[in-house]
């Protein structure tokens, strides 16, 4: 058995189902080894998308997503997708193939220092050598899954992959969150004391909460204490957004409405909050914070009542058992706030707009359907407007926030959940970055509608330029075509009004393969929602 066979079999035992990438000569032996296992090699149009797909798989399943590239330009392309896993907390194994070991320090065609490239965007960057493949791969899998999950890079020289494998006993790493419990019991006492003197406590959930096993217990805490809750973009659905205590999403469309509500609080209980999404300093002000997470928050100038490593789930269970304590909140005021927020998110527009498209889609997508979306002005609109009560049904990037995530993320979500309805929503700028991945969806025959919101601009950049009084340079994509072209044989429909929108959604969501629904929207429709 060669080392490439050992790698393929080890990944299979760890539960890996797909490896995403673009082949080259040095990559072929490992692809050939994968063919002898149950793992499917998925050819992507670009290595960046391979990293995004691996990130989405890791985030949705908890099992490391795997991406694979050749050396040099393949490695640099893939790095963008791998950085997504690093900052969005998804377990990923990123493998770069390389020149033979004797050439690793030479200045030759395509060779760069892969470890220098990947060190800043991974939890670890490890070299594979002929005598350490089994141990190093097991270490990489464990590191990727350990709290906080993230990407691990492995560099595979061509001669190492072809070398005879050294026999070893492989033990699959645990995918559970295993952390050192430090001050875990103390935080419940801090919460109890703070609640006793607080008149308007507010719960905030974030990225780390997506790795909890105690969501039901936290909801019980919310209901027993009758306090409102807000989430970050990543934590959508982990507490039900249809709940009367839900009061918004932090830092997205109509952020001023949500911030005004936050400013009424006199205590923030932040559960699983990761400042990688939004720094505490940007929204807390002088409100004291109890930070309950598996890692300390990197923060300055904020009044932290508790900020230490703790067993988050144990803390939540303890909080759920606290006796109810009265506060000064009014549920009627919450309802008024939600109504004002919902109204502000839906300004009148002459043309179709993102918010009208999202409302139409929400009516059709099942409760457990998955929405994958990209980065741009529409991201802000979706985060605040879209409602879900089901975890892992909103697939996006927030910590990394790279354009181009949406279509690869939607493809990965459909692979991970073949029995669920999955829809991708992207802006026109993001669409043109990854349109080639439609060929992947067609080749895999994935029933996957991609909704492209076309306003002819990089909408978020345009809003930022206008906000600063700058000229609109470099943000214009051009006049939208009157109808969408055909992409790699993927059927497309153009939408310009409500009737054609409803027809196109019914059409795309009932096809046996992928489709593109290009919706021509009002370029001014984000102006009163995204930055207000």
Q: What are the domain boundaries of the chain?
A: 3-162, 184-330, 345-520
**Residue 326 phi, psi (nearest 5):** -70, 155
Could you read off the pLDDT of 368-398 as tens digits, one per residue?
999 999 999 999 999 999 999 999 999 999 9
What percent of the chain lies above the pLDDT cut of 70?
94
CA distances from 37 to 40, 180, 493 (A): 8, 36, 39
Q: For residue 292, give both structure tokens.
A: 């309950």
List residues bridging with 292 in a β-sheet: 271, 308
The CATH code of the domain at 345-520 is: 3.40.50.970
495: nearest Cα among 459, 472, 513, 519: 519
Residues of the chain with pLDDT > 90, as a percent, come to 83
Tens-place pLDDT, residues 177-233: 444 445 567 899 999 999 999 999 999 999 999 999 999 999 999 999 999 999 999
And the tokens for 430?
Answer: 């993001």
**Is pLDDT of 175 > 60?**
no
Strands 229-231 and 201-205: parallel
> Looking at residues 73-91, what average pLDDT do you find?
97
DSSP string covering 285-330: TT--EEEEESS----SSS-EEEEEE--HHHHHHHHHTSPP------
Cα–Cα distance, 113 to 98 (Å, whole number)? 10
Is residue 71 pLDDT above 60, yes or no? yes
Confirm whether 3-162 and 184-330 share one CATH topology.
Answer: yes
State the Cα–Cα distance between residues 471 and 240, nearest whole angstrom: 42
Tens of pLDDT, residues 472-497? 777 766 666 566 667 778 999 999 99
Residue 107 CB contacts under 8 Å (≥ 6 apart), including other chains:
none
What's domain 184-330's architecture? 3-Layer(aba) Sandwich (3.40)
To the nearest whole number, what is the mean pLDDT of the chain? 92
For 297-351, write each residue's pLDDT tens digit. 999 999 999 999 999 999 999 999 999 999 999 999 999 999 999 999 999 988 9
- Please tell me the predicted confidence (pLDDT) of residue 101: 87
Model confidence at 25, pLDDT cuts 50, 70, 90, reads confident
For residue 464, the model assigns a pLDDT of 76
pLDDT of 530 strictly over 90: no
Q: Model confidence at 176, in pLDDT bands (50, 70, 90)?
A: very low
More confident residue, 141 or 461: 141
Q: What is 3-162's CATH number, 3.40.50.970, 3.30.70.260, 2.40.50.140, 3.20.20.140?
A: 3.40.50.970
Q: How far apart are CA 340 and CA 343, in angstroms?
A: 5
Would you say residue 170 has pLDDT above 60? Answer: no
Res 173 pLDDT > 60: no
Rg of the chain (C-alpha set): 24
Q: Lowest mean pLDDT of 164-173, 432-441, 508-517, name the range.
A: 164-173
* More confident of the two residues 241 and 166: 241
Using alpha carbons, select from 68, 53, 83, 62 the residue that is nearest to residue 22.
68
Q: Are 387 and 365 in contact (CB under 8 A)?
A: no
Q: Residue 126 — φ and ψ, nearest 5°?
A: -120, 135
CA–CA distances in Å: residue 398 to residues 110, 379, 458, 508:
32, 9, 18, 27
* pLDDT surpassing 60 at residue 18: yes
Alpha helix (H) ranges present in 43-147? Answer: 47-61, 73-88, 114-118, 133-145
**Distance from C-alpha of 412 to C-alpha of 415, rounded to nearest angstrom:** 5
- pLDDT on residue 183: 53
- Report d(CA 226, CA 202) in Å as an integer: 10
Is the pTM above the cut of 0.75?
A: yes
């Amino acid at each position: 058995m060669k080392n490439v066979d050992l790698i393929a079999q080890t990944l299979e035992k760890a539960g890996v189902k797909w490896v995403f990438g673009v082949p080259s000569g040095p990559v072929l032996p490992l692809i050939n080894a994968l063919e002898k296992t149950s793992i499917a090699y998925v050819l992507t149009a670009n290595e960046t998308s391979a990293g995004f797909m691996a990130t989405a798989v890791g985030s949705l399943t908890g099992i490391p997503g795997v991406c694979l590239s050749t050396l040099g330009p393949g490695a640099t392309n893939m790095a963008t997708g791998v950085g997504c896993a690093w900052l969005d907390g998804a377990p990923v194994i990123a493998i770069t193939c390389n020149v033979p070991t004797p050439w690793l320090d030479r200045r030759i065609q395509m060779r760069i220092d892969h470890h220098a490239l990947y060190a800043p965007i991974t939890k670890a960057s490890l070299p594979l050598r002929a005598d350490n493949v089994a141990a190093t791969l097991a270490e990489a899998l464990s590191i990727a899954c350990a709290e906080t999950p993230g990407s691990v890079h492995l560099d595979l020289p061509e001669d190492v992959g072809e070398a005879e494998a050294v026999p070893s006993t492989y033990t699959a790493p645990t995918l559970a969150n295993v952390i050192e419990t430090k001050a875990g019991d103390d935080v419940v006492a801090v919460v109890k004391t703070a609640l006793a003197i607080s008149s308007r406590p507010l719960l905030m959930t974030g990225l780390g909460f997506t790795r909890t096993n105690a969501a039901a217990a936290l909801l019980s805490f919310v209901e027993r204490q009758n306090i409102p809750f807000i989430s970050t973009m990543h934590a959508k659905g982990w507490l039900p957004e249809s709940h009367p205590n839900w009061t918004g999403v932090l830092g997205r469309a109509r952020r001023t409405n949500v911030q005004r509500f936050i400013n009424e609080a006199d205590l923030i209980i932040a559960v699983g909050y990761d400042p990688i999404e939004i720094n505490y300093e940007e929204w807390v002000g002088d409100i004291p914070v109890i930070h309950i997470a598996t890692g300390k928050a990197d923060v300055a100038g904020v009044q932290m009542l508790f900020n230490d490593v703790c067993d988050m789930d144990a803390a939540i269970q303890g909080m759920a058992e606290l006796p109810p304590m009265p506060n000064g909140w009014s549920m009627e005021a919450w309802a008024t706030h939600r109504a004002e927020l919902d109204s502000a998110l839906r300004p009148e527009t002459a043309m179709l707009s993102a918010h009208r498209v999202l409302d139409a889609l929400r009516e059709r997508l099942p409760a457990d359907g998955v929405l994958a979306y990209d980065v741009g002005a529409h991201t802000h609109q979706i985060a605040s407007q879209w409602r879900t009560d089901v975890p892992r049904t909103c697939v996006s990037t927030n910590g990394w926030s790279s354009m181009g995530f949406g279509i690869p993320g939607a493809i990965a979500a459909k692979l991970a959940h073949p029995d669920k309805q999955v829809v991708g929503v992207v802006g026109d700028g993001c669409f043109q970055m990854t349109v080639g991945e439609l060929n992947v969806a067609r080749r895999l025959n994935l029933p996957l509608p991609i909704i492209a919101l076309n306003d002819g601009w990089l909408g978020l950049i345009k809003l930022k330029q206008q906000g600063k009084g700058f000229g609109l340079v470099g943000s214009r994509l051009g006049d939208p075509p009157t109808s969408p072209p055909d992409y790699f044989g993927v059927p497309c429909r153009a939408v310009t009004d409500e009737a054609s929108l409803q027809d196109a959604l019914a059409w795309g969501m009932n096809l046996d393969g992928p489709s593109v629904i290009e919706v021509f929207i009002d370029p001014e429709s984000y102006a009163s929602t995204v930055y207000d």
